Amino acid sequence: MSGEIFQERLHRLGLPIFSLAIAALGVETVVCAQRVEHTLGGVPFDVIPVIPWLPPVPWIASLFGVIWVACGTGLLARRTRRTAALVLGTLLFLCTLVLDAPKYAGNFSNMSLRTGVLEPLSLTCLAWLIGGWLTLASRYLMAFSLIVFGVDHFLALAPIGGLLPGWIPWHAFWVAFFGTVFIASGLSIGLNYLQRPGAAGLGLMFAIWVLTLHLPRVLGLYGIAGAPSNPNEWSSLFIAVAMWGGPWSLACRSEG
């Protein structure tokens, strides 16, 4: 098997990986929202379980979760892919615009809030690009998000490096390296230049993170207290999986 054929087949794993991650986020959201609703008797709560970019009302969060499961499933079928991508991307974009952007607008220096805005925005762009919707705007927004992620890696070398497991050496180097990958991928997507290797490299980076960081954490292999039962750890895993599969799905169709 030639390297080109192998790469093509590898890229074609992207869509089912992305779809599975979206459906998993939906299932987790429904489970956790129902748990909170049972505990609080339906009273709105301040911190949404699992994902902060959802309306802070259990039944609404459950509804969104069901829709995400349907969208994740719909992405797998050619007949329903464009509709599922449009619905998924639009809902994510509305949540970003209405729920998260106002929080960040009042605190521009908060990197955590900034990430909370750019994560759903990135997934929005991936969904729209997979479905062929708003491709130019999605490319630019995706590029902007990735470049900001990359710059943030350089601004927080030590804090981000502290998240890496002890068996990985040279934490600051790897944080800077992956920051560079973010910026390079963002430029390739935004400038429509070498999009295929740019998207492939971005997906590979997240695949590495899933296998060396997120999955071992939720499996309890790193001895982090409460990690296996922490919904935020699982949602971080599913978001990383989506950011792995989404770019690979685009890479299989992009021209270098």
- Quick one: residue 220, left, alpha or beta (phi over 0 = left, psi -120 to 50 = alpha)? left
* One-letter-per-residue 3-state SS of the chain: CCHHHHHHHHHCCHHHHHHHHHHHHHHHHHHHHHHHHHHHCCCCCCCCCCCCCCCCCHHHHHHHHHHHHHHHHHCCCHHHHHHHHHHHHHHHHHHHHHHHHHHHHCCCCCHHHHHHHHHHHHHHHHHHHHHCCCHHHHHHHHHHHHHHHHHHHHHCHHHHHCCCCCCCCCHHHHHHHHHHHHHHHHHHHHCCCCHHHHHHHHHHHHHHHHHHHHHHHHCCCCCCCCHHHCHHHHHHHHHHHHHHHHHHHHHCCCCC
Residue with tokens 């900001």: 148
pLDDT at 47: 45
pLDDT at 188 over 80: yes
Mean pLDDT of 147-154: 96
Structure tokens at 145: 């998000």
Q: What pLDDT, in 10s, does the model give residues 96-146? A: 998 888 878 877 788 888 888 899 999 999 999 999 999 999 999 999 999
* Residue 171 pLDDT level (bands cut at 50, 70, 90): very high
pLDDT mean across residues, the chain: 86
- The domain ranges of the chain are 3-251
pLDDT at 247: 94
Q: Are 72 and 26 spatial neighbours (Cβ–Cβ below 8 Å)? A: yes
pLDDT at 232: 85
pLDDT at 224: 83
| C-alpha dist (Å) from residue 128 to 116, 196, 251 | 19, 17, 14
pLDDT at 31: 85
pLDDT at 14: 93
Structure tokens at 119: 């994560």
- Distance, in Å, from the CA atom of 112 to the CA atom of 52, rounded to the nearest integer, reads 11
Q: Percentage of the chain surpassing pLDDT 90? A: 57
Mean pLDDT of 47-64: 72
Residue 168: alpha-carbon gap to chain centroid: 23
Mean pLDDT of 235-249: 95
Q: What pLDDT, in 10s, does the model give residues 6-52? A: 556 666 789 999 999 999 999 988 888 877 655 544 444 444 445 66
| C-alpha dist (Å) from residue 213 to 6, 122, 209 | 26, 20, 5
* Residue 237 pLDDT level (bands cut at 50, 70, 90): very high
Q: Percentage of the chain surpassing pLDDT 70? A: 87
pLDDT at 222: 87
- Quick one: residue 226, left, alpha or beta (phi over 0 = left, psi -120 to 50 = alpha)? left
- Distance, in Å, from the CA atom of 159 to the CA atom of 233, rounded to the nearest integer, reads 17
